[in-house]
């Protein structure tokens, strides 16, 4: 089978989640701590020279940063948790697609892998299959748990677009690290690593007819969509 490479289109990605939020929050907490310490030492510094006050200010800045890095007084944590709690989830299909492409790019994976949730669920966040797969990536419960998602009677993070995407992309990255072949990655994602390993990756690449019809159709459909996307 000829290897096909696809170029990722250029997009203006919306900042759904700020990667540097934690560092910004820590910096903010450091500034607040410094101000509190300065107020506490105001009377001590009242009669000091400008040089003494300068070095004392540098000392307080260092102490403030160390305190913030060590966990501070909880302000940074509160900022991050509040942001994550209130950040609006992507809603439209286009927003979801852009979010997926962003996460793929962050992990160093090709953007055309964003067709997987298109084939799996048409980017339907609440999709559930008769076999128990759920979310737009159609993750099975055990697979989701292995990838760090919470799945129980109260919470099912497979329905969280961002969390499920990060988990699915990690899964794809791990599969590529193992098989070094995107066709095998797609097969393993749909059919399962165990099934592919039992049959033998080498055998499968030589004859895709060894696969179940559902998986053959899945891979064929994915490749067609990928080629169409690359041709646009």
Q: Are 196 and 184 in contact (CB under 8 A)?
A: yes
Query: CA torsion, points 220, 221, 222, 228, in degrees to nearest 10?
Result: 110
> How many CA atoms are closer than 13 Å to the CA of 150, on its beta-carbon side?
4
SS3 call for 156 = strand
Helix (H) or strand (E) holding 146: helix 141-146
157 is catalytic: no
Burial class (CB in 10 A: 0-12, 13-18, 19+), 213: exposed
How large is the C-alpha radius of gyration of the chain? 25
Given the residues 29, 120, 157, 193, select the one marked as catalytic.
120
168 closest CA partner among 181, 159, 180? 159
SS3 call for 18 = coil
Q: Are 181 and 205 in contact (CB under 8 A)?
A: yes
101 closest CA partner among 13, 5, 229, 6? 13
User: Annotated catalytic sites, by residue?
Assistant: 120
């Amino acid at each position: 089978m000829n290897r096909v490479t696809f170029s990722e289109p250029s997009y203006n990605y919306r900042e759904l989640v700020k990667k540097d939020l934690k560092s910004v929050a820590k910096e903010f907490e450091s500034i607040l701590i410094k101000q509190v310490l300065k107020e506490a030492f105001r009377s001590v510094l009242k009669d000091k020279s400008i040089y003494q006050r300068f070095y004392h200010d540098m000392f307080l800045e260092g102490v403030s940063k160390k305190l913030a890095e060590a966990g501070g007084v909880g302000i940074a944590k509160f900022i991050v948790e509040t942001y994550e709690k209130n950040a609006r989830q992507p809603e439209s299909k286009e927003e979801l697609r852009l979010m997926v492409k962003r996460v793929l790019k962050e992990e160093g994976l090709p953007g055309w892998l964003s067709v997987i949730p298109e084939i799996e669920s048409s980017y339907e966040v609440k999709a559930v299959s008769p076999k128990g797969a759920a979310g737009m990536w159609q993750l099975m419960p055990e697979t989701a748990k292995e990838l760090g998602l919470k799945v129980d009677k109260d919470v099912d993070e497979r329905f969280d677009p961002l969390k499920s995407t990060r988990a699915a992309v990690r899964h794809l990255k791990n599969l590529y690290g193992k098989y070094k072949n995107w066709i095998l990655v797609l097969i393993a994602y749909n059919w399962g690593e165990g099934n592919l390993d039992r049959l033998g990756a080498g055998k499968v690449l030589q004859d895709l007819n060894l696969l179940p019809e559902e998986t053959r159709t899945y891979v064929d459909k994915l490749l067609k969509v990928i080629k169409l996307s690359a041709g646009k």
